[in-house]
Structure 1
Amino acid sequence: ITPADMDLVSVKNELSTYFEQPIDLYIINASGVIVASTFEAEVGMDFSSIPQFMKKLTNIRLGNSTEYDAIVTGLKLGEERKYGYIPTNDHEFILEIGINLQKFFREQEISKYPRFAHWYGQTRQDVSSVWIYDLTFLQASDIKTAIPGFSDYTYEFQEIEGRKNNLLKVYRGHDSIELAGPQKNQVTRYLYIPQINSSSVSSGLFDKVAEIVYSTGQMQIKINEALSRNIFHALLVIAVLVLIAFVIARYISRPVYQIIEDIEIIANGDYEHPIRRTKGFEFKRLQASIQKMVEKLKADIISIRQKTYELDAELQNRLRVEESLKAANHKLSLLGIITRHDLLNQITVVSSGLELIDDDIEKNEQNIKLFTMMKNSLFSIREIIQFTKMYERMGVDEPIWHNISLLIKETMVNFYSQPCEVIDNTNNLEVFADPMFNRVIYNLIENSFRHGGKISKIKFESFFEDDVALIIYSDNGSGILLENKEKIFSIGYGKNSGLGLYFIRDVLSFTEIEIRETGTEGMGACFELRIPHGKWRIRNVNP
């Protein structure tokens, strides 16, 4: 049986006995087209233009169960209807039953959209009209049929140019827009209202768009009224603030200013000036506290002045002592210079005399031994005199930075006759030490040649332990006995003057540099210099 062979009117009349409200029947084919209906206005309607709804109809047609829809708006007359969908046994068609609920809604006064529009207009005096459209405006020949419950609205419907395009723009963009018009002093706003998700057949297909026309004249009146109220409130607040400021100035600021004036007078040196009385319990407490503080300051100032007089006297005394010490040091230094000069002259005379006598005396073992002893003594005396000259300058001048590599090169010039390999691995290390630090390098090298036996190699190396730098000086000589490692730094110890290593330790101590001997007997001497943080640096060499 084809839909054309069916008497839908007879079927409708038979089924109407089971419903309290009017019904209509529809036959939908596999293409989504209504091919037959008791409601002739909707014959030929094509649902394939609504892909989401068409997909649901296809699922119903191919299934075996009856599906029900929510209450939706009819596509032609805009009536509120509830639909049911029954697939045919051959799954070629769907029988749709639509219950017209428009009369029922009027009797029960349930027209939700018109009631909402009316309520919104009542709450806003600037609202000229409110119309709520559903998706059917896309196919409706008369756009009023896309307004659910149109006849129950209390507004007069007016044609607006571009209305359908505006509705389409809001629906597709899921957004709201606002336009001027349709009349002067009016604004039209289109609001997108999404449908609540449900399991009904048309879920998500009947979103709404509200068209609200506002009167800008009413809005301007309200804006002016609000502005007037705000100005009044602002003036009232200003008046209250002025009153508060007057009270503060009268009862708070004036006493504060008075106290400040008194404090400034005291601060300028008039410590006998009293803090004047003020009104108010708290200000009296403040006045008493400040007066107490002033008395304490006066006592402290007197004490400070007394201490200042005492410190000035002590300072003057120290200055006199320092001047005396400077004068004494100058005299001692001058005496040392004169003494050294005279001693060296006398040593030269004695040395010349020995040279003359040496040519005249008999050359035997005893005489040779005596002459050698006297010459060695004269040499030691000369070294001691030279040592006193260096020792006198030690600690006098401020420490300076010394480049180790440069000092090694300059010192080795004095030992050009010694066939020895010099290895420098100090890597541009610089040390902050007394200006006599160059004698430290000189004495270390001289001790190696003097006491180390046959020396063919000396080495300078640098290492780092946390923030401490280490300079290691070593040779390949005979080394130092274990029991002598500390004795060698004592004054007078050694085969000659015994002053070299003692002098080295004193020079290094001025900048807290430590030295010790760490070598092994028979494998050469090894001296370790420990330079503390802040007393060493690596010199940057530009490429």
Structure 2
Amino acid sequence: MSQQKNLSVITEFSDALPVGICVIDRKRKILIWNRTLAEWSGHLSEVMVGENLMELYPDLNTPSYRSRIDQVMDGGPPAVFSSQLHRSFIPCTKADGTSRVQQTSVIRYAGGNPDHPCAMIIIEDVTDLDHEIRSVRQMKDQALLEVQERKKAEEALENLNAKLNLLSSVTRHDILNKIMVIDGFLGFAEDLTSDATQAEYLRHVRAAAMVIQNILLFNRQYEQLGIEDAGWFSIDTLIETLDTEERLPIYSACKGVSIYCDPMLEKVFYNLYDNALRHAMGATRIDLACQPSSSGLLIAWEDDGSGIPEDDKEEIFKRGFGKNTGMGLFLVREILAITGIAITETGEEGKGARFEISVPEGAYRIANPA
């Protein structure tokens, strides 16, 4: 097939392609300028064919472009000019006047005369892809910046928290020491006074000092919430660590049961027991039961004391409710809530208090009996 016939076939084929096609000979004369390239550039094929490409686009007449085109014609591998590293081979604009982002490939084209090879320039419009890549990069850069800023903020916040915790610890320690001194001197003053009214005033002051002391001790416990990772804890093991009194023994039916909770779980049972000692008037025992339910595990802590009035069943978990510090049951609920465990009081007044601890699925396990 003659070169002219071959070019005619390639021209017809290239006109159907959605990419720009330009074929040049060794002298850089344009042999094919397809329909897509004509639309992009605004230059008709009839005008462009026969013209010298390098004269029309002088930027291509530089060594970095000229030598690579020559290498392709001499049998070398295809040359690729990416949009990130090279200017557009043949500048083209879109309908809105913005430049098209191009990726250009140059391949050897023998045509109908192998002794006089040509170069086929294939131009792809990657404007949309380039826009997407830039958008992704901007999003990534923005995300990295936000992560770095958040990390700095978190570090600054941890440092601040560490300083505040240290300040709180030192301050609390100093205040507790002063309260011990106050308590001691108030005790001496009570022993030395002969005035009944004055002695009564001193007892009130001493009681107030003890309340302050208990509040500070509670704050020390509260600061520890959530600091350590949650873990698995055996119910029976925690019960065994309690210093129970003979008048109020605990009977546990939770053998082999463990729950996933904050390490301060021991404070939960300590405070429940302390609450019973202080308020369960007439109680002779505490029964602890563990029963799987449709929603997880139900742990029941029940005494046979005087019970809790209906109006107080929710109030008892609020900070400051009741006598002493009013912090015990508030702390209990806070500890359990860290791992999604709930506690309610469901007993009947006059028949005893009953605290129900609801452990969600996946947060408890029961060991098989040996």
Both proteins in one fold, TM over 0.5: yes
Asked if the contact 1:459/1:474 (under 8 Å) is kept, the reply is yes
Contact 2:234 2:257 in 1 (8 A): yes
SS at match of 2:223: helix
1:362 maps to what in 2? Answer: 194
1:421 alignment partner in structure 2: 249
Aligned residue runs from structure 1 range 272-421, under 5 A: 273-274=103-104, 291=124, 294-362=126-194, 364=196, 366-411=197-242, 413=243, 415-416=244-245, 418-421=246-249
Looking at structure 2, the residues matched to 450 and 269 of structure 1 have their Cα atoms a distance apart, in angstroms, of 80
Q: Specify the SS of the correspondent of 2:166.
A: helix
Unpaired runs of 5+ residues, structure 1, are 1-260, 280-287
Shift of 1:298: 2.3
Does the residue aligned with 2:104 lie in a helix, a strand or coil?
A: coil
For the structure 1 residues 423 and 300, does the alpha-carbon distance in structure 2 shift closer, same or farther, using more than 3 Å as the test? Answer: same
Asked if residue 454 in structure 1 is aligned to residue 247 in structure 2, the reply is no
Structure 1 residues 449, 345: CA separation in 2 closer, same or farther (over 3 Å shift)? same
How much has 1:367 moved relative to structure 2?
Answer: 3.7
1:449 to partner: Cα distance: 0.3
Aligned match for 2:318, one of 466, 490, 493: 490
Partner Cα distance (1:447, 1:502) in 2: 11
How far, CA to CA, are the matches of 1:501 and 1:399 in structure 2?
20
Question: Residues 302, 440 of structure 1: CA spacing in aligned structure 2 closer, same or farther, 3 A cutoff?
Answer: same
Letter paired with 1:362: S
TM-score (norm 1): 0.46
Q: RMSD value over aligned CA atoms? A: 2.9
Q: Does 1:471 pair with 2:303?
A: no
TM-superposed deviation, 1:299: 2.0
Q: 1:522 to 1:297 in 2, by over 3 A?
A: same
Q: Deviations over 1:28-62 (max 9, x none)?
A: xxxxxxxxxxxxxxxxxxxxxxxxxxxxxxxxxxx
CA distance in 2, matches of 1:348, 1:362: 23
Output aligned runs, 1:74-89, within 5 Å: none
1:431 match: secondary structure: strand
**Cα separation, 2, equivalents of 1:468 and 1:474:** 19
C-alpha distance in 2 between matches for 1:276 and 1:540: 74
Counterpart secondary structure, 1:520: coil
Larger radius of gyration: 1
Matches within 5 A, 1:231-242: none
The question of 1:526 aligning with 2:357 is answered no
CA drift at 1:265: 9.0
Q: Does the 8 Å contact 1:469/1:530 carry over to 2?
A: yes
What is the percentage of aligned positions where both structures have the same residue?
32
Distance in 2 between residues matched to 1:429 and 1:487, nearest whole Å: 30
Q: Comparing both structures, which one devotes a greater share of its residues to helix?
A: 1
TM-score by length of 2: 0.66
Count residues in correspondence. Answer: 269
Q: Partners in 1 of 2:328 and 2:271 — Cα distance?
A: 6
Which amino acid in the other structure matches residue 234 of structure 2? N
Between 1 and 2, higher relative CO (CA 8 Å, sep ≥ 6) is seen in 2
Alpha-carbon separation, structure 2, partners of 1:268 and 1:349? 77
Deviation string for 1:190-241 (max 9, x for gaps)?
xxxxxxxxxxxxxxxxxxxxxxxxxxxxxxxxxxxxxxxxxxxxxxxxxxxx
How much does 1:533 deviate? 1.2
